[in-house]
Amino acid sequence: MRRYLISGNWKMNTTRATAVELAKALVSGAAAATDQVDVLIFPPAPYLIPVQDAVAGSAIQVGGQNAYFAAPGAFTGEVALDMLQDIGCESVLVGHSERRHVFGETDELINQKVKAGLEKGFQVVLCVGELIEERQAQQTEAVLDRQMAGGLAGVSAEQMASIVIAYEPVWAIGTGHTASPEQAESAHAHLRSWLTSHYNAQVAEATRILYGGSVKASNAAELLGQPNVDGALVGGASLKAADFLPIIEAGVNAAG
């Protein structure tokens, strides 16, 4: 049985004060839930340390929204995996659609980040997903195949134990348009089939695949109730405890 993972990507939002306030509200509000589901938050890099302090002693995990693959050195503006590790982060988000489509990250660069994260012992959350033009052209599965093959190149079956896949249809991120439960399940089932054919049935069965794309309290239960949806990567709704806690609760209910 795959354990549900409810994760919140705060993106380039919050101040130090509001980040700490939000983290503390999640600690108190999700205390019982973390017995049954994993909760992971991705604050902006400048607030990682105060947020880590705010969740200390709880089961809430804190990860980095991005990291560079190289060792510390002359890479102005980048965050090293060693730095994330130094402050206690054990997870890193890689290949988010905004990194791909706003900052031009390629599958090859994303793959370097994936492998570097695995080598450092991180849980790597790899994001994949199609643009609206690609879905309309019936290219969704081809896009997912390409991103999975590119992002996971050189990753062994054993290393897959540290990989989480997040399916995020780009057309549903921050738009208010959510993939229907049937669309989400179809994409997740395809991704699990890809894992079976490129690794084995055991890897496919064990790998968690999250849905991301305008997840909110009103649709979380139906999305999380799909057989191949193992959690959520939540954007805007993760910025307020009152919005995020019901999604965590939906994960608890789905876990049964």
Active site residues: 96, 168
CB distance 29 to 256 below 8 Å: no
Expressed in angstroms, the distance from the first to the final Cα of the chain is: 11
Q: How far apart are CA 189 and CA 182, in angstroms?
A: 10
Query: What's the DSSP call for residue 46?
Result: G
Q: With b meaning 16 or more CB within 10 Å and e meaning fewer, what string describes 225-248?
A: ebebbbbbbbbbbbbebebbbbbb
Q: How far apart are CA 235 and CA 213, in angstroms?
A: 8
